[in-house]
Structure 1
Amino acid sequence: MNASVVPAAVTDAEFAARVLQSPVPVLVDVWAAWCQPCVTLKPVMQRLAESYSGRATVLTLDADTNLEMVTAFDVRALPTVLLFDRGALVARQSGAQSLATYVALLDGQLAARSAGQAPQAIAPTTPAPAVLPTDSPAVREARELAAAGTPTVLFKHSATCSISISVKREYDAFVRQHPDIPTRLVVVQQERPLSNALADVLQVRHESPQALVVRDGQVLWHASHHRITAERMAAAVVAASRTL
């Protein structure tokens, strides 16, 4: 065992070269400094990096500073561990799991490579949105929100996503600081039809967490994940108000 091997960090800019083009399988630990389960997983990743040195690579990806890959691979909870082989995402595990779980993933993929099998890419985790009747209550509310005559902030929140729970603090701060600005909180698990209807009416791909500023049927600003801050929402409302 090579005790000097430590999981290295990878960034959005390096991801294609170091992960998708890697000649060996790559296990990517998507984490954040504020996420306690992510911290407890560090020794597990260390052991994997040591055990599989030369056969597979273990990397870490900071979710707070690498939003492009977080969004591209639909990371909705932390930690999330992604396994890539020859450019394909072949497995994922959300939440801190045991060492044996990740060993099974790596051993299984290495065995498949030895047998000459092509990597089997897994399907995206995000289900296709349901088609709603055009006169449903959700569609009517989505249209009413979109048609607001003054800038309105919409915030889509996933109550089961650690990233969304963290970002919602920014939305809550914005609401406290600007009680006069119209807002609408949409908890996706409780109001999925409305969440889907907003994506359809506004023609903006659904993400959570997601913040949008709308007025007169137009989306004037939108952002997702840690791009959402109270300051940015306030600035977007100010900019939208100037165009009235």
Structure 2
Amino acid sequence: MATKQITDDSFHADVIQSDKPVLVDFWAEWCGPCKMIGPSLEEISEELGEQVTIAKINIDENPDAPGRYGVRGIPTMILFKAGAPAATKVGAEPKGRIKAWLEGELA
């Protein structure tokens, strides 16, 4: 399963109404660290796709969701469980750290 591209318009259906947890990556085209973690998130999506949906939202094209969830710096990853923010990680980290954090939050 590849990461899912979402928008402000699809956020409610893709994240809030999802029947499984969703990790939302708030990113932008001009953000170097965002581009660094992109491949890691793709791999994590392949590895943990049964347990969690990995979604990406471009903050430049979709300003509503980042504003609603207080995203001030990117990359910011917010894990939503049952439609509510459950955990947040700000900044780029190696794949192993992101995956370990995510697995801990899903456990």
TM-score when normalising by structure 1 = 0.42
Write the letter of the residue equivalent to 2:87: A
1:21 partnered with 2:17: yes
Tell me by how many angstroms 1:104 deviates: 2.5
1:95 partnered with 2:88: no
Please say if residues 37 and 79 of structure 1, whose CA atoms lie closer than 8 Å, have aligned partners that are also in contact: yes
Tell me by how many angstroms 1:92 deviates: 0.9
**1:18 partner SS:** helix
Q: 2:88, 2:97 → 1: CA distance?
A: 11
Q: 1:48, 1:29 → 2: CA distance?
A: 12
1:84 partnered with 2:66: no
**1:14 partner SS:** helix
Tell me by how many angstroms 1:16 deviates: 1.0
1:126 maps to which residue? none
| Match for residue 37 of structure 2 among 19, 28, 41 | 41
2:100 maps to which residue? 104
| Match for residue 65 of structure 2 among 44, 66, 69 | 69
Tell me by how many angstroms 1:39 deviates: 0.8
| Match for residue 46 of structure 2 among 41, 44, 50 | 50
CA-atom RMSD, angstroms?
1.1
Deviating beyond 4 angstroms after TM superposition, the runs of 4 or more aligned structure 1 residues are: none
Larger radius of gyration: 1
Q: 2:75, 2:106 → 1: CA distance?
A: 23
1:66-107 deviations in Å (ceiling 9; x for gaps)? 110010011111111111110110111111012223222322
Q: 2:47, 2:98 → 1: CA distance?
A: 12
Provide the identity percentage. Answer: 36
Q: 1:46, 1:57 → 2: CA distance?
A: 11
Q: Which has the higher contact order (CA 8 A, sep 6+)?
A: 2
**1:13 partner SS:** helix
Please say if residues 6 and 57 of structure 2, whose CA atoms lie closer than 8 Å, have aligned partners that are also in contact: yes
1:154 maps to which residue? none
Structure 1 segments unaligned to the other structure (5+ residues): 112-244
TM-score when normalising by structure 2 = 0.93
Q: 2:13, 2:97 → 1: CA distance?
A: 26
